[in-house]
Amino acid sequence: MKNKREIKRRIRSVQNTRQITKAMEMVAAAKLRRAQERVQAARPYAEKMREVIANIAAGTSAKHPMLIAREVKKTGYLIITSDRGLAGGFNGNLLRKLVQIVSERHQSPDEYVIFVIGRKGRDFLKRRKYPVIGEVVGLPDSPTFADIKQIACQAVQFYAEEKYDKLVLLYNEFINPVTQRPVEKQLLPLESISLEGQARTLYEYEPDEEEVLAELLPRYAETLIFSALLESKASEHGARMTAMGNATDNATEMIATLTLQYNRARQAAITQEIAEIVAGANALS
């Protein structure tokens, strides 16, 4: 009987866990839809700003420092993780990629610095004594640019002040609800900005092209950081939805297995009782 009670108690426990994981899966799915909409809504602004910058850069002989590559003596990394877990390999895969990149490219911590968004990344890097110089934690599920404005401005400003010579973004790119891919993208210098075969659009600038370019380039870099954050949030919700879906499926399988064990234990107990009754009857006769 004790064995049956333990199995039944475990079945109830797994059923309660399944209810929780199913609810979390549904919540993550709802958040994912909103996050996807925000990613789509942010793209036209970034694309239009890129087009304007490409037009200005193509029409002036002056080159802004953010468009020119220089010898890389020190590198800045900005990594975007989540504040919460229960999202499968969402954070682990990205942090392993960062550790691999750092170990392959740098001989000492003096050669790089790290900005980190998300509690999981912050805790991981600080425990291992990485040179973290900027952090943001506690972001909402639907962040605004104001939530990361300080760290984004600081990362771009440090490049402008030549505190490092390259700024790299590391985040999870959203492919689809079940696939997220850790990616590394060079943010600064912005060498890839060009018209790419498109006809140049003529604009009138006030006060002049160089000053407008100097104002727009930092804003564009900050916009790219925010766009990466939105992609990361969509990836996080997708990863959590998948992880909770898998957990729900595993719980269902475990309940079926435990129910089978319970039925077998109950049948064995009934069989034993019948055997004892038959043996007692035989003894009396």
Q: Measure the CA–CA gap between 219 and 152, rounded to whole angstroms.
A: 10
What SS3 state is found at 76?
strand
What is the model's pLDDT at position 46?
83
- pLDDT tens for 119-172 read 999 999 999 999 999 999 999 988 999 999 999 999 999 998 999 999 999 999
User: Does the pLDDT of residue 1 top 50, yes or no?
Assistant: no
pLDDT in tens, 233-263: 999 999 999 999 999 999 999 999 999 988 8
Q: H or E segment at 184?
A: strand 179-188
Distances (CA, A) of 170 to 21, 92, 99, 236, 241: 29, 13, 11, 14, 22
How far apart CA 78 and CA 221 sit, in angstroms, is: 12
pLDDT digits (tens, 9 = 90+) for 56-66: 766 666 577 78
Q: What confidence score (pLDDT) does residue 232 get?
A: 95
| CATH label, 36-242, candidates 3.90.1150.10, 3.40.1380.10, 2.60.40.10, 1.10.150.20 | 3.40.1380.10
pLDDT tens column, 80-117: 999 998 898 999 999 999 999 999 999 999 999 999 99
The predicted structure's pLDDT at residue 62: 58
Closest CA to 47 of 169, 227, 170, 203: 227
pLDDT score of 280 = 76
| Helix extents (H) in the chain | 2-59, 90-105, 119-127, 145-160, 209-284
What local confidence, expressed as pLDDT, does residue 231 receive?
A: 93
Better pLDDT: 205 or 274 = 274
Q: pLDDT at residue 279 above 80?
A: no
CATH superfamily, domain 2-24+244-284, is ATP synthase, gamma subunit, helix hairpin domain (1.10.287.80)
Locate the domains of the chain by residue range. Answer: 2-24+244-284, 36-242
At 202 the pLDDT is: 64
Query: Is the model more confident about 171 or about 5?
Result: 171
Question: Tens digits of per-residue pLDDT, 156-212?
Answer: 999 989 999 999 999 999 988 888 999 999 998 886 666 565 555 666 667 777 787
